[in-house]
Structure 1
Amino acid sequence: MAKSYPDELRMQVIAYLDEGHTVREAAEKFSVSASFAAKAHKKHSTAAETTLFAQAEAAASEPEDASNGEMTAAQLADLLGVSKRAISDFVERGIVVKTDRNRFDMAGSVQRYCEHLRMMAAGRTGDGSDALTAERARLAREQADQTALKNAALRRELIAIVDVRNEWTSIGRRIRNGMLSVPSRCRQKLPHLTTYDVDLIDREIRSALTELGNEDDGDSTGDIEAGAVGQSASASEAAAIGLD
């Protein structure tokens, strides 16, 4: 069952679209569906066009006055059922006919505005507005992409980020625990080591683990050179305490 929206919200959406915004923008701004925005504006456009033609015919049947078929921006806004701000936007987009300062040709403006409404309803405004058809096509593409991702996951072609993170966390924890157990194993296998020697090994291992945890992969060359120096120093220390 289609969701029902208040009439006030419907009019706000229509007014927003009349100002030149797209269906998608209106749907996002007022938290409504794109189809609702498009259908509401199309229905309003049809009704407005009928009313405008009736008003134009009635005005044409009246005797001409000094205004010679012209009106102010406020009068035109009232006739079209839009805001004065929308009239200014219509002038820039060539939707209404401005003859002089704050003067507009009524018949020409009504005709152009009706044509604009017809094009809006058909999704052919030419100003980048998205028609309902385009919205449906976009939705279809999104649904197809979502289905493709689900199928890839079922085929075990994709791995969830959380699973990768958990696995690497587990690997890192096992490596850390294994390295921290080295001093105690050295004490058992090399009884001649003093407490100072074992503590030194423990400190060096913890220092190395800390450096690895804080290491930046930006300069691999420097890391390699530092590693070579570290290996020489470690070999000297190992020889000094009898690990070789």
Structure 2
Amino acid sequence: MGRPIGKKPSTATAIPLTCSKGDLANLLGISVRSVSDWDQKGVFKRAVGRGRYETVASVKGYTGALREQAAGRASATGITLTDERALTEKVIRQIKERELAKITGETLTVAEVTDSWSTFALGVRSAVLSIPGKARSTIPHLTAHDADVLKQMCRDILLDLAEEVEAAVISGAPEEISGE
């Protein structure tokens, strides 16, 4: 005959109130490492005792997390898929903004900046090195020795500037460039 109406069939084994990490992994069909990962995300409910979990609450937490993931409300990283999509869109928008700024000439390439600064540096070098000759023609009583001293001073200044700029650029410390 059948079972009496209104009675549920009995199960041969009862579900234990708590279980170990290994038991939980076996029950859910995942690795012990996965149990640890999900545990760090707060999916499993810990029980009293080291390495123990409340069995039913943990299974419900796991299936709920999987349901959320399947519905697109959460990802394996813990960030919602909507947030991940928003971050991706933000990066794509930033890339497009930079490309537009490049096309419209609002930004310069490294090569353009390097060329401009090289031209500027050559102009400064020429101007500084022309000081001794201009001084000698403007101040007629300067001797050849005075002109040589001025040349050496100008070269020393240029070498000092070159060393400061090189050290600042290589170290990447902006305060060394601006002199702050």
Corresponding position: 1:81 with 2:29: yes
Match of 1:115 among 48, 57, 64: 64
- Tell me what 2:4 maps to: none
Aligned pair count reads 157
Match of 1:202 among 133, 148, 151: 151
Question: Separation in 1 of the partners of 2:39 and 2:149?
Answer: 82
Change (3 A) 1:104 1:144: closer
- Tell me what 1:223 maps to: none
Residues 35-80 of structure 1 deviation map (CA, whole Å, 9 limit, x = unaligned): xxxxxxxxxxxxxxxxxxxxxxxxx85324xxx4216422221121
Corresponding position: 1:162 with 2:162: no
Match of 2:92 among 131, 143, 152: 143
Post-superposition shift, 1:171?
1.0
Identity of aligned residues (%): 29
Contact 2:19 2:54 in 1 (8 A): no
Change (3 A) 1:61 1:126: farther
Question: Separation in 2 of the partners of 1:126 and 1:164?
Answer: 43
> Residue type of the partner of 1:82?
I
Superposed, which structure 2 residues align to 1:170-181 within 5 Å? 170-181=119-130
Question: Separation in 1 of the partners of 2:53 and 2:96?
Answer: 54
Superposed, which structure 2 residues align to 1:192-231 within 5 Å? 193-213=142-162, 214=164, 217-218=178-179
Question: Separation in 2 of the partners of 1:192 and 1:97?
Answer: 94
Post-superposition shift, 1:169?
1.8
Superposed, which structure 2 residues align to 1:47-62 within 5 Å? 62=11
RMSD value over aligned CA atoms?
Answer: 3.7
Post-superposition shift, 1:121?
2.4
Question: Separation in 2 of the partners of 1:202 and 1:102?
Answer: 80
Question: Separation in 2 of the partners of 1:194 and 1:135?
Answer: 75
Structure 1: gaps (5+ residues): 1-59, 220-244
Change (3 A) 1:168 1:182: same
> Residue type of the partner of 2:128?
M
Question: Separation in 1 of the partners of 2:39 and 2:65?
Answer: 13
Question: Separation in 2 of the partners of 1:90 and 1:211?
Answer: 60
- Tell me what 1:69 maps to: 15
Structure 2: gaps (5+ residues): 1-8, 166-175
Q: Which has the higher contact order (CA 8 A, sep 6+)?
A: 1
- TM-score scaled by length of structure 1: 0.50
- Tell me what 1:134 maps to: 83
Change (3 A) 1:118 1:184: same
Change (3 A) 1:194 1:105: closer
Post-superposition shift, 1:165?
2.7
Change (3 A) 1:120 1:98: farther
- TM-score scaled by length of structure 2: 0.63
Equivalent position SS for 1:130:
coil
Contact 2:74 2:81 in 1 (8 A): no
Post-superposition shift, 1:108?
4.3
Post-superposition shift, 1:167?
0.6
